[in-house]
Each structure stands twice: as C-alpha cells, then as structure tokens.
Amino acid sequence: MAKRNRKLGSGFTFLTFICNLFMFLGSGYLIYQLSLLKNVENNLRLIGSIILGLFCLLLLIISFKFKRKGKKGKLFITLFLILLIGAAGLFGGYNVDKVYSALNKVSDTSGYKTYSSSLVTLSTNKASSLEDIDDDVLGILSDKESLEGNIIPKELIKEKKLKNETKEYSTFIEMIDDLYAGKINYIFLPTNYSVMFGSMDGYTDIKDKTKIIHTKKKKVKEKGSKSTGKSVTEPFTVLIMGVDSEEEGIKGSSFNGDSLMLITFNPKTLNTTILSIPRDSYVPISCFAGKRKNKITHAAWQGEECMMDTIKDLLDVDIDYYVKINFRGAVELVDTLGGVEIDVPYNLCEQDSYRRWGKNTVYIEKGLQTLDGEKALAFSRNRHPNPEMCSAKWTNYNSSDFIRGMHQQEVVGAILNKIKTAKNLDTIYKLLDTISNNMVTNMSTDQILSLYNVFKDVASHTDKDTNMADVLGFNRLQLNGYDTRIVDYGGTNLSLYNYVLYKSSVKEVSDAMKENLGIKKSKTVKTFSFNINTPYEKEVIGAKTTDNTTVVQVPNFVGQLVSYAQSWGSKNGVSIVVNGGNGYVLSQNVPAGANVEDVKSITVSSGGTNSETKKTDTTKETKTNDTNKINDKNKTNEKKEEDPAINNSGVTNNTDSDKETETDNDDNEN
C-alpha cells in the first residue's frame, strides 16, 4: 500500500488539485451567470446552484480520497467526471452570459441620448474638411433650444476656433433651399438629415446632392428615457417604433418614425390590444414649440421621449416602455429565422431596405408563401401601389396606412411564431446578435428577464400548430379620420398630406386601452347576434367612429375683397393687417392651407380691381412659394401639385375615390 501511495505522489496531487480547480472555476462561473437571471425560475436556479456546489464539493473529497488510497483507476474516472463538469459549467456559463449580455445591450436605462450635427455642403464642392471652408458664412438654425441646429454647431465653431460668420434660419428646409440655390455654401443639419428629409418631394436626392464636411456628437441627459420601474406582472404598455436608419445598428440620433405600434398587455388575462398609429396622423407634437400640430412621424426627429409624450398626450395613456427597432435589422432577423410564412393578398412591388427602386425593386406575388427578410420588410412597408415604378401586374390593388398596419402586425406575429421554434444553438446566437445590434428599449435588463414568465405562461397554452396571437387574444384598434393637405406653417412651410383624427375615434381607442390596463371598468356586452350565412368578423374598435372634427385652414384671399378677409379674420380670431386700399387682395404673407391654430395675424396687400388681381396672380390659387420651389427642383412632381382635390381655399375636397391615393401626394414617404 505504501508503494502505491508513493506512485500516486506529488504529481497526482498537483493533477487532482488542477482538475478540481478547473471544476470549481467552471461551476462557479455558471452559478454566477445564473444568479444574474433574476425573476427567471428563481427556485430552480437556487436549488440547482446548491446541488451543483454540493456535488462539486463531494467530487473534491472523493478525488483526494482515491488519490490518498492509491486507487489510480477510480481517480482517473473521477478526474474525468470533474473535468467534464468544469467544461459543462464553462459552456453553460458562456451561453447564459451571451444571453444576458445581449439583453443588457438592448436595455438602455442610462437616460442619455446622443445628438449629432454635421456641417453639410453640396457634393460638387471640392471642400472636404473644416480647413477648406475659408471664410464662408455658415448656416445655423435660429432656435436656440435646438441641439442639432444651434447648440452643437455653436460649440463646434468655438471648439475649432472658427472665425466664420453665421446666418440664422427659421427652418432646416430654408437652409437646404438656400444651399441648393447657391446662396450659402455650408449649413449645419442633423447628421441623419438624408433620412429626415430624403422622403420629401424635392429632396429625395438630398443624399446624392450633398456631403458631410465635419460631424460633432453630444451626449445629453434626458428625463424621459429611463425605465418606469413598473413590474411586468402588472398590466403595461409598450410602444414599438420601427425606424429607418442610414447605417446598420440602432444606436445614435433621431430617426423617422416609419412604423408606430402601441400595445397594451394584461398578464393576468393574457389579453392584448394592438394599435398601429398612422404615421401621417395630424396631432400636437409635445416637443415642438407650443405643441404645434404636425405629422406624428416627425416627433421621432426629436427622439423617443418626444414620441412617447406625443402619444401619451393623444391617447391619455401612460407609456411604460418603448422598443425601437431598426428595419435593416428586421431583414436580418427574418433571414436568420429562415423566413416567415405570410398569406400575401395581392401582387405588389416595393423599394428594398435601402429605399432603392430599379434593379433593386422587391416583387412579391399573391399567395401563401415564406418571405425572406427583404420581402417581409417590403410587405410591411407597402401602403399604396406604385404604378410609376412597376407594371400593372404589381399595382392592381387598393391599400392604405391601415392595411399596412395590419401587414406589420401579421409579420410581427409570424416572427414570434418562428422564434418559439428556434432550437439550433447557432441560430439562437445569430438571433441574439441581430436583436442586440438592432433593438433598444428603456426596460431594465431585469424587467426584460421578467418577461420570461409571461412568455412561459403563453407558451404553456400553445403548441406547434397554435398561433400565439390566438392565445394572447389580440384586440385590434384603429384610429379613424379624414385626409387633407395642410401647409406646415412655421415648420417646413411645405404643403403636406395629413390624416386628421376624429376625436370620438381617439376616445374609443383610448377607452379600450384603459379597460385592458384595468384603469377603466369594462363594459359588459349583454346581447349578441349573428347570421349563420355571414362569416363573423371581430370588431375593430375605433375603425368606423366618426364625428365633425375639422381643421380650420387659411383660405386663399387673392382675388377676394379685403372686407371678406377681414370678416374671416374676425370670425376665426386672426388679425388681418392690410397694406393698401380696400379693394381686392393681391397677395397674402400666410399661405392658403395653413392651420389657423398656427396663425396669429395675416398681412394682405390690396388694390386694383378683381380682374386685375386675377391677371397678376393666377398661380397663387393653390400653390405656396415653397411648393413652387419644389416643383422647380423636381419636375416629376408637377402632376401631384396640380391635385384637383385642392379647392381654391387651399383645403382638400375629400371623396371616397381619392382617399386611397391621397397619400401619394404628401412628401412621398413610405
């Protein structure tokens, strides 16, 4: 026995020690990583960690016992088991760490937002750096509260000790117009200006016509970006923002809010309401001066805080969380899942993920099929035919922003159904990488982990043939309204298509959300009728609700008597300042079609006879100075500006026939 012990001497002692150290390091790493997964199988994690710790301790004792007794064969078997547990611990810990790190990357509760401003010039300019700009005048925004238009540019000028004079503009559009006209050579714009303005008529080629000379970023603490701290075991709301970005990834500055989806979820009833908010909804924007009304998509220019506050003000519902998703990432996500199954209702064509037509056009045929990432995104984005880009085969259908919202919900549901079947480790890794790079939320990592129990509850009610949407009891909501064109007076000063929401529809949708959140008592339905010959269709709350909500717009006074303008001003609380006599109006400084809420006074020039007025100003009846500039720069849009739906007061005549195609006439946003 003594001889055997000598053979298993110091070398075996060292080997046994090293193997046990490896086991404890691997197991300890796994236990530590598991401890981070708060609210996920708490009892199971605790019991498993205790058992693993005790088992490792037992193997430690046994290994040294076999070594001491010289039982070489049993020692090797024990050491092999020890190494196996250590390796398993490292592998398990690595995978848990990968999941936790991805969720941690998605979570952004710092309260900071990065703003970025760039000095921009025409692409034909030979200048390529600040050293090349000589003593030229630099255009900045006059709004001293604007970080990207005024504050950051001034900091850059001071930091780089630039001696250049500055010229202030009231809007970014005015700056861009002067840059195009050669009146100024350098202007400061938000770094993502090509996304913000590139979808507007007259500026679709802004990315090609301009270039960036220099960029400065600034991190700013914002009060509204932090998580609410609300537990996901309580009813909660989440705003999903699908955004366009020029680059891969989601981190950075402001974006166009291309897709807005507000969800309320009650974990006790598993009931869900889902509302797709039309991007052209004309609503008060919380972060605009005086909460001036505009397209809701433009609230995203000022970041998620502005968007959340705007929707909160609109629907009178607190938004607990937001999730911001980059569309580029959606393409990669769907491709990683091997595509999603969608029943496409009609043939369609759409731009690709980089907003390109031509050889890059995405074509999708009608029918049940598996869509890859590009096609899934095109299906989600499409909201009207594109006859100017594609043949009749791909444009023979009617669509709208609401139908697009339904398509987006279908794609989200299809992605969720596909994710729950993902079991391949490589696929899971790719999903985590894609999600972490293209998604950000104000939920803390612990709050995200708490969703595990919600998904577990939902999964327990589903199988491979069950649609998750059926289990969650989706109730679709829809905001109803009417189409009109409104001059964005005091903003871009462009005549834009807008969707004015009926107040009654907004209230009905708001009440439905409050009921699901438990804020408002639900109404009990006491009667129900149906026709056996008519298929049952679930009611879409708010979709058919109408009222007399209207936007009062400035009429075209040109050719009218001054007394008419004065009478209108008196009735609508607008001061009418008259330059000239009491004859007919020759011109007005506020364009026809502006919202009366944005106007305090209007100066009109008068004189001459009615016939003389018509001769001198025949083109101002339906066009503002700004839209004339657009037509000069983009001849292809002339037909759009000569819209017969615009009457001589600058207000749109809405008919059923043109309601579906009216969206083509705005700033050409998809």
For the chain, what are the domain ranges? 2-105, 112-221, 236-477, 562-665
| C-alpha torsion angle, residues 580, 586, 590, 594 (rounded to 10) | 140
User: What pLDDT, on a 0 to 100 scale, did the predictor assign at position 324?
Assistant: 86
User: What pLDDT, on a 0 to 100 scale, did the predictor assign at position 229?
Assistant: 63
Query: Structurally, what CATH architecture does the domain formed by 236-477 represent?
Result: 3-Layer(aba) Sandwich (3.40)
User: What pLDDT, on a 0 to 100 scale, did the predictor assign at position 11?
Assistant: 85
Distance, in Å, from the CA atom of 517 to the CA atom of 435, rounded to the nearest integer, reads: 28
Give whichever of 85-89, 351-355, 653-657 has the largest mean pLDDT: 85-89
Q: Which residue, 167, 115, 466, 178, is CA-closest to 306? A: 115
Least confident of 85-89, 492-496, 657-661: 657-661
Reading the block at residue 496, the tokens are 């834009």
Backbone dihedral angles phi then psi of residue 579, each to the nearest 5 degrees: -105, 110
Instruction: Give the model confidence (pLDDT) of 66-107 as tens digits.
Output: 988 888 899 999 999 999 999 999 999 999 999 899 888 888
User: Which residues lie below 8 Å from residue 627, measured CB to CB, with a gap of 6+?
Assistant: 494, 495, 641
pLDDT at residue 236 greater than cutoff 80: yes
pLDDT at residue 615 greater than cutoff 60: no
Average pLDDT over residues 52-76: 92
User: What pLDDT, on a 0 to 100 scale, did the predictor assign at position 379?
Assistant: 94
User: What pLDDT, on a 0 to 100 scale, did the predictor assign at position 610?
Assistant: 65
Instruction: Give the model confidence (pLDDT) of 196-234 as tens digits.
Output: 887 777 887 898 899 999 999 988 876 655 556 667 788
User: What pLDDT, on a 0 to 100 scale, did the predictor assign at position 285?
Assistant: 94
| Residue-wise burial string across 415-445, b where 16 or more C-beta atoms lie within 10 A, e elsewhere | bbbbbeeeeeeeebebbbbbbbbbbbbbbbb
Instruction: Give the model confidence (pLDDT) of 242-266 as tens digits.
Output: 876 655 556 554 455 668 899 999 9
236-243 and 321-326 beta bridge pairing: parallel
Distance, in Å, from the CA atom of 121 to the CA atom of 14, rounded to the nearest integer, reads: 70
Instruction: Give the model confidence (pLDDT) of 19-42 as tens digits.
Output: 999 999 999 999 999 999 988 888
Element (H, E) at 208: helix 206-209
> What count of residues does the chain have?
670
Average pLDDT over residues 392-407: 87
- Which amino acid is it at 1? M
Which of the listed CATH numbers 3.40.50.280, 3.40.50.300, 3.40.190.10, 3.30.300.30 matches domain 112-221?
A: 3.40.190.10
Residue 636 binned pLDDT confidence (cut-offs 50, 70, 90): very low
User: What pLDDT, on a 0 to 100 scale, did the predictor assign at position 392?
Assistant: 93
| Per-residue DSSP letter, 248 | S
Cβ–Cβ under 8 Å, residues 337 and 379: no
pTM: 0.76
585-588 and 601-606 beta bridge pairing: antiparallel
Reading the block at residue 120, the tokens are 């921009």
Q: What percent of the chain has pLDDT over 70?
A: 81
Least confident of 211-220, 294-303, 494-503, 599-608: 294-303
